[in-house]
Structure 1
Amino acid sequence: MNREKIVENLKSLIVALVLALIIRTFLVQSFHIPSGSMIPTLLVGDFILVDKVTYHFREPERGDVVVFLYPENRDVYFIKRIVGLPGDTVQVIDGKLYINGKPCSYSPAGSYSYVEKGTLMKGELFYEFLPKRKGGEKKHLILKTGTQGDNTKVFVIPKDKYFMMGDNRNNSYDSRFWGFVDRKNIVGIARVIFFSWDGERHLPRFSRIFKLIN
Structure 2
Amino acid sequence: MGKKIYENLKSFAIALILALIIRTFIVQSFHIPSGSMIPTLLVGDFILVDKVTYHFREPERGDVVVFHFPLNEDVYYVKRIVGVPGDKVQVKNGKLYINDKPCKYQFVGNYSYEEKGNFYKGNLYYEFLPKREGGVKKHLILKTGIQGDNTEVFVVPKGKYFMMGDNRNNSYDSRYWGFVDRDKIVGIARIIFFSWDGQKHLPRFNRLFKIIN
| TM-score class normalised by the smaller sequence | over 0.9
Q: CA deviation at 1:123?
A: 0.6
1:29 partner letter:
Q
Give the corresponding residue for 1:81.
80
Q: Secondary structure, in 3 states, of the residue corresponding to 2:167?
A: coil
Contact conserved, 1:47 with 1:196, CA < 8 A, in 2?
yes
Give the corresponding residue for 1:147.
146
For 2:156 and 2:20, how far apart are their aligned partners in 1?
35
Give the corresponding residue for 1:13.
12
The residue correspondences of 1:110-149 to structure 2 (distance < 5 A) are 110-149=109-148
For 1:94 and 1:54, how far apart are their aligned partners in 2?
35
Give the corresponding residue for 1:187.
186
Give the corresponding residue for 1:93.
92
Q: Secondary structure, in 3 states, of the residue corresponding to 1:207?
A: helix
Give the corresponding residue for 1:42.
41
Q: Secondary structure, in 3 states, of the residue corresponding to 2:35?
A: coil
Give the corresponding residue for 1:108.
107
Give the corresponding residue for 1:25.
24
1:65 partner letter:
V
Q: Secondary structure, in 3 states, of the residue corresponding to 1:74?
A: coil
Give the corresponding residue for 1:169.
168
Give the TM-score taking structure 2 as reference length.
0.99
Instruction: Write out per-residue CA displacement over residues 80-107 of structure 1, whole angstroms, 9 at most, x where no aligned residue.
Output: 0000000000000000000000000001
Give the TM-score taking structure 1 as reference length.
0.99
For 1:200 and 1:115, how far apart are their aligned partners in 2?
9
For 1:204 and 1:24, how far apart are their aligned partners in 2?
25
Count residues with an aligned counterpart: 213
1:24 partner letter:
R
2:20 partner letter:
L
For 2:119 and 2:59, how far apart are their aligned partners in 1?
35
Q: Secondary structure, in 3 states, of the residue corresponding to 1:82?
A: strand
Contact conserved, 1:46 with 1:193, CA < 8 A, in 2?
yes
1:122 partner letter:
K
- Runs of 5+ unmatched residues, structure 1: none
For 1:185 and 1:100, how far apart are their aligned partners in 2?
24
Contact conserved, 1:115 with 1:200, CA < 8 A, in 2?
no
Q: Secondary structure, in 3 states, of the residue corresponding to 2:41?
A: coil
- Runs of 5+ unmatched residues, structure 2: none
Q: CA deviation at 1:136?
A: 0.2
Q: CA deviation at 1:121?
A: 1.4
Identical columns (%): 78
For 2:185 and 2:148, how far apart are their aligned partners in 1?
23
Instruction: Write out per-residue CA displacement over residues 4-45 of structure 1, whole angstroms, 9 at most, x where no aligned residue.
Output: 110000000000000000000000000000000000000000
Moved over 6 A (4+): none
Q: CA deviation at 1:119?
A: 2.8
Instruction: Write out per-residue CA displacement over residues 49-68 of structure 1, whole angstroms, 9 at most, x where no aligned residue.
Output: 00000000011010000000
2:105 partner letter:
Y
1:92 partner letter:
V
